[in-house]
């Protein structure tokens, strides 16, 4: 989205400084694109840096959001609203939009990968009832997909935890 705002800024500049027909065409295109992308004129003019707040739900989402803010702004300085699941960062309107879009995209991707991690962790550590016959993950119909390959690869990289070993160490 940042690149769209930047493009709109350039078209706006052309509509202001263009010559004759060029100016009119740029103005018409600017109005059409601003309507299409839902961008207001003040977003194109104002690149003022102000504190914007972003909402998250979990601690992991907070960490992801902080990293995305750092990626977009290059600044690690964040502000937390006491008692609220929001963090603030000083950035421009176009950076705010970029942060929001990236956060939604990567939050969704992270949730999918966490589901794969969860399945791999349960299988690697054999967290099933003792009476249940051990089955390989690929024997289950629901996992006969690309997800099974990801789960198996992740299981191979995981350490198997052993409760008995931990108790013996006490």
- pLDDT, tens digit, 9 for 90 and up, residues 75-107: 988 999 888 999 999 998 889 989 999 999 999
Q: Model confidence at 122, in pLDDT bands (50, 70, 90)?
A: very high
Let me know if residue 91 belongs to a domain.
yes
Let me know if residue 162 belongs to a domain.
no
Residues 10 and 87 in one domain: no
Residues 38 and 122 in one domain: no
Cα angle vertex 59, ends 57, 60, to 5°? 95
Range of the domain at 41: 2-45
Let me know if residue 164 belongs to a domain.
no
Residues 79 and 10 in one domain: no
Dihedrals φ, ψ of 115, to 5°?
-65, -40
Residues 7 and 56 in one domain: no
Residues 21 and 63 in one domain: no
Let me know if residue 170 belongs to a domain.
no
C-alpha distances out from residue 167 to 129, 161, 162, Å: 20, 12, 9
Let me know if residue 94 belongs to a domain.
yes
Q: What is the mean pLDDT of residues 27-48?
A: 73
Residues 68 and 138 in one domain: yes
Task: Report the greatest alpha carbon distance in the chain.
Answer: 85
Q: How many domains would you assign to the chain?
A: 2
Q: Model confidence at 64, in pLDDT bands (50, 70, 90)?
A: very high
- What's the pLDDT at 55? 96
- What's the pLDDT at 138? 43
Contact present, 41 and 8 (Cβ < 8 Å): no
Q: What is the mean pLDDT of residues 16-27?
A: 75
Q: What is the mean pLDDT of residues 122-126?
A: 89
Q: Model confidence at 170, in pLDDT bands (50, 70, 90)?
A: low
pLDDT of 164 over the 80 cut: no
Residues 125 and 63 in one domain: yes
pLDDT of 158 over the 60 cut: yes
Residues 65 and 117 in one domain: yes
Residues 30 and 101 in one domain: no
Listed residue (121, 113, 96, 98) closest to 60, CA to CA:
113
Give the 3-state secondary structure of residue 79. Answer: strand
Let me know if residue 108 belongs to a domain.
yes
Residues 66 and 92 in one domain: yes
Q: Which two tokens stand for residue 117?
A: 């991690």
Give the 3-state secondary structure of residue 153. Answer: helix
């Amino acid at each position: 989205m940042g690149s769209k705002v930047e493009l709109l800024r350039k078209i706006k500049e052309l509509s202001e400084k263009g010559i004759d027909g060029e100016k009119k065409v740029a103005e018409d295109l600017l109005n059409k694109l601003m309507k299409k992308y839902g961008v207001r004129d003040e977003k194109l003019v104002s690149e003022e840096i102000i504190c914007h707040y972003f909402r998250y739900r979990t601690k992991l989402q907070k960490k992801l959001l902080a990293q995305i803010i750092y990626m977009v702004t290059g600044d690690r300085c964040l502000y937390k609203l006491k008692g609220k699941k929001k963090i603030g960062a000083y950035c421009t309107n176009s950076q705010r939009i970029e942060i929001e879009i990236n956060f939604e995209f990567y939050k969704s991707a992270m949730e999918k990968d966490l589901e794969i991690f969860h399945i791999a962790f349960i299988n690697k550590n054999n967290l099933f009832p003792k009476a249940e016959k051990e089955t390989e993950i690929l024997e289950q119909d629901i996992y006969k997909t690309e997800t099974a390959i990801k789960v198996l690869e992740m299981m191979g990289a995981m350490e198997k935890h052993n409760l008995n070993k931990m108790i013996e160490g006490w």
